[in-house]
Structure 1
Amino acid sequence: MPVEAPIVILVHPQLGENIGAAARAMANFALSELRLVKPRDGWPNPQAKANASGADWVIDGAKLYDTVEEAIGDLDYVLATTARRRDMIKPVLAPEEAARAAQGRIAAGGRVGVLFGPERTGLESDHVALADAIVMAPVNPAFASLNLAQAVLLVGYEWFKQAGEQGLGRATPVDPSGEQGTPMSETRLATKAELLNFFTRLEAALTRSGFLYPPEKAPIMVRNLRNLFARAGLTEREVRTLHGIVSSLARQRFEPGEPQDD
C-alpha cells in the first residue's frame, strides 16, 4: 500500500454517518489521513465509526481544525472538488488527471490535500480560491451532485490506480487478489493438436449418428462447428470434458438421418 498519499479534508461535514462512509471509501483505496474542518455535529461522533465499517484507524486518526486555512497550512498542493463551474483562472482537472498530478507532487516530496465540501452546498468559492486546481468529475450534467462518500471514493479510486499496479478485489494470506484476464491456475488453454483430436472424434461421432446429413452439406457444417469451438477459447480440462460427452453420446445408437431429441 502507498505510504504517502493525498490527505482528505472534509470541510464542514454535516452527518457523522457521511464522515464514516467517507472514511470507509478512503480505506478502500489506501488513503489514511483524514482532516475535519468544523464538523456540524461535533467530534468525535459515534455514528462516524459505526458507518466506517471497520476503517477505525481512519476515524481514530482524524484531526480537527477550525478553518480551511489551518487544515491546509502544511500542504504545498491542494485540490478542490466541485460540480459547479467557478469563475476563476485555475486549472480544472478530471479525477484521473488530478490523481496523476498528485502522484507527481508526492513523488517529488510534496504534501497533497483534497478538499471536499459540505453535503448540502459543496465548497464555498472562498475555499476553492485557496486550492491550486479544481477537480470536476465527468458526470451527468443534469444530475451532477455526488454524495460525500461517492466523491471521496471517486478521487481515491483514481489515486489508487495511479499509485502503482494493484491486484483486484480482496486478498488474504491464503487467497491472493485477482488479476485481469481469465484465471488459469489449475488448467491451461488447449493446444491446437488437442482441439484437432477432439474435432476428429466429434465429427466421426456426428457422421455415425446421422447429424452431418445430407452429405453435400457436411463440409460447411463441420467448418461451422470448428469455428464455434475455436472461438470458445477452450481449456485442456474443457476439451477432456467434451471428449467425455462425445464418448457418452457415442454409446447411443442412431440410424442415419433419424431425427434426435433436443
Structure 2
Amino acid sequence: MPKSRAKSHPVGFAPAVILVEPQLGENIGFAARAMANFGLTELRLIAPRDGWPSDRARAAAAGADAIIDAATVYPSLEAAIGDLTFLLATTARPRGMVKPVLTPAGAARDLAARGAKGERTGVMFGPERSGLDNDAISLADTIVTAPVNPSFAALSLPQTVLLVGYEWLQARGSQPSLGRATKCDGPAAEGLDLSGTRQATRAELLALFKHLESELDRCGFLRPPEKRPTMVRAIRNMFHRMGATEQDVRTWRGIVASLSGSNRRKGKGEGS
C-alpha cells in the first residue's frame, strides 16, 4: 500500500484562489479548470484587465462553469482579502522580505490544517507578465515558491494554480481517484488493479515451472546439464519479478502447451 504523503486532515474550508490583476481571460479559465480538478471552488478576481464576465474565460474553463459563474470581482486586493485569517503569496523569488518561505507541498499542509480548524485562507497569484508586486507580497503571511529549475523559474499562472491545487488535495489526506470515472468503469487507483483476477499462488507457479521446464528439457534448451540449475533459477526469478497473476499463469500454460503441441506435430510431419 502506498504511504500517504502528508498527515491526514479533516475536510474543512478550502483556500480561496485570488488572481491579482489577471491579464488574459483564457488564463482565468485555465486556472478555473485547474481548480475544479483538485476541489478548489472559490475564485476571487482583482481588476481583471479584460473585464468580467469573460467569454474567453468560460471557453477555456472547459466545463468548470460553476467556478466561473461564482467568481467574485473586487476593486482592490485589500477588499478581496478582508475576511481571511491566513494569506499566501506565490512568487519565484522572496524579494528580500523577511517572511517564511514554503514549498507548495508545505504550504498545502498548512492550508489543510488551518482549514480543518475553520480558518479562512487564501493564495494570491500575480499578473502573468510580472507576478505579484512587493506591495501585494507585503500583505501575505508566507511566501510560496516552487522547487523548479533555478535558471528557468517561469511557471505560467494556470500552472501555478494547478500545482498548488494538486498539493492541497494531497495534503487533505484523502485518497483521490485517478482519471475520469465513466459508466463502464470507475476511476483508476494507484497500484495494480486485480479486480478481474488475483495474484498467482505458489502452487500455481510451481505447476507452471514444472510444465515449462519439462518442455525445455524435452527440446534441449536446458543444456549443458551442469548449467541447468542456474538456468532454471533465472527463469523462475523472471516470473517472480513480474508478479504473475493467475490469469498470467493460465496464459503461459496455454502458450507452452500450444508451442509444445505444434513442435510435436511438426516433428511427426517431418518424419512421415
Give the TM-score normalised by the residue count of structure 2: 0.90
Give the superposed CA RMSD. 1.6
Matched, 1:138 2:147: yes
* C-alpha separation in 2, matches of 1:150 and 1:27: 14
Tell me the secondary structure at the aligned position of residue 102 of structure 1: helix
Task: After TM superposition, list the pairs within 5 Å mapping 1:58-207 onto structure 2.
Answer: 58-163=67-172, 164-172=174-182, 174-207=184-217
Which segments of 5 or more consecutive residues in structure 2 lack a partner in the other structure?
1-9, 268-272
Of 225, 228, 236, the match for 2:238 = 228
Could you say what secondary structure the match of 1:10 adopts?
A: strand
CA shift, 1:174, in A, is 4.6
Runs of 4+ in structure 1 deviating by more than 4 angstroms, as ranges, are none
Structure 1 Cα separation of the partners of residues 208 and 153 of structure 2: 55
Could you tell me the percent identity over the aligned residues?
59
SS at match of 1:100: helix
Equivalent residue pairs, number:
255
On the 8 A contact 1:2/1:30 being kept in 2, the answer is no
Corresponding position: 1:244 with 2:254: yes
CA distance in 1, matches of 2:130, 2:59: 25
Cα separation, 2, equivalents of 1:97 and 1:134: 11
Q: CA deviation at 1:178?
A: 1.5
Q: CA deviation at 1:172?
A: 3.9
Matched-pair contact (CA < 8 Å) for 1:21–1:149 = yes
Gaps of 5+ in 1: 256-262
Deviations 1:207-261 (Å, cap 9, x if unpaired)? 1111122223222221211112221111101101111111112211388xxxxxx
Take 2:129 and 2:180, find their aligned partners in 1: how far apart are those partners?
Answer: 33
Contact 2:13–2:118 at 8 Å: present in 1 too?
no
Q: Does 1:27 align with 2:36?
A: yes
Tell which has more relative contact order, 1 or 2 (C-alpha 8 A, sep 6+): 2
Change (3 A) 1:169 1:2: farther
Name the TM-score, length of structure 1 as normaliser: 0.93
